[in-house]
């Protein structure tokens, strides 16, 4: 019962943040990409496409598993805050998953394409 209730609460917070965004001062500002991609079940996904991490910035709760999926013809890899985590090469349609247990701001990059950069904020 408790878990059901907390899940309902997290849904509420997502709905609330979307509502707040829609009432923001700039009606043309882009929608908040990260909460939409953060699922309620402790998993989240980052797409690798056209040599970019999408979304470039992701906010998650501690304990969330993040999965990177490569949709490019080129291989990439994922390096998390230089030393926290490092994938092998991720070929087309392959995935890499990392669980973020500790709160903080993590820098994400690809050692093969230095312009590819992102952030994961763990609350």
Partner 1 sequence: MSDDRTLQSRRDALKCMAYGAGTLFTLVGGVLAPIDLALAAGTPKERLGKPLFVQISDTHIGFSKEANPDVNVTLKQTIALVNGMVQQPALIIHTGDITHLSKAAEFDLAQQMLSQLRTTELHTVPGEHDTSDATVTEYFDRFGKASNRKGYYSFDHSGVHFIALINVLEFKPGGLGILGAEQLAWVASDLKGRSASTPIVVFAHMPLWTIYEPWGWGTGDADQLTEQLRRFGSVTVLNGHIHQIVQKMEGNITFHTARSTAYPQPIAGQGKGPGPLKVPADQLTKMLGVSSVSVVNHPHSLTIRDSTLG
| C-beta of 56 vs 112, nearer to Cu ion | 112
Q: Give the one residue of 46, 76, 87, 106 binding Cu ion; rule: CB under 5 A.
A: 76
Please tell me what DSSP assigns to residue 83: T
Residue 77 interacting with partner 1 (CB under 8 A): yes
| Contacting partner 1 within 21-60 (CB under 8 A) | 50-51
- Provide the b/e sequence for 18-56 (b: ≥16 CB within 10 Å): eeeeeeeeeeeeeebebbebbeeeeebbbbbeeebbbbe
The item of Cu ion, partner 1, none sharing an interface with residue 97, based on CB under 5 to 8 Å by kind, is: none
Task: Tokens for 66, please give them.
Answer: 């993040």
How many residues contact partner 1, by CB under 8 A? 19
Closest CA to 112 of 85, 84, 90, 82: 90
**Interface positions with partner 1 (CB under 8 A):** 50-51, 72-75, 77, 86-89, 91-92, 111-115, 117
């Amino acid at each position: 019962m408790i878990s059901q209730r907390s899940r309902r609460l997290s849904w509420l917070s997502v709905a609330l943040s979307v509502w707040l965004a829609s009432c923001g001062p700039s009606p043309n500002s882009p929608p908040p990409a990260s909460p939409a991609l953060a699922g309620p079940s402790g998993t989240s996904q980052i797409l690798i496409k056209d040599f970019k991490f999408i979304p470039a910035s992701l906010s998650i709760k501690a304990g969330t598993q993040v999965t990177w999926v490569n949709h490019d013809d080129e291989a990439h890899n994922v390096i998390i805050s230089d030393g926290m985590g490092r994938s092998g090469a991720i070929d087309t349609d392959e995935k890499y998953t990392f669980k973020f247990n500790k709160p903080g701001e993590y820098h994400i990059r690809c050692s093969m394409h230095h312009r590819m950069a992102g952030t994961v904020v763990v609350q």
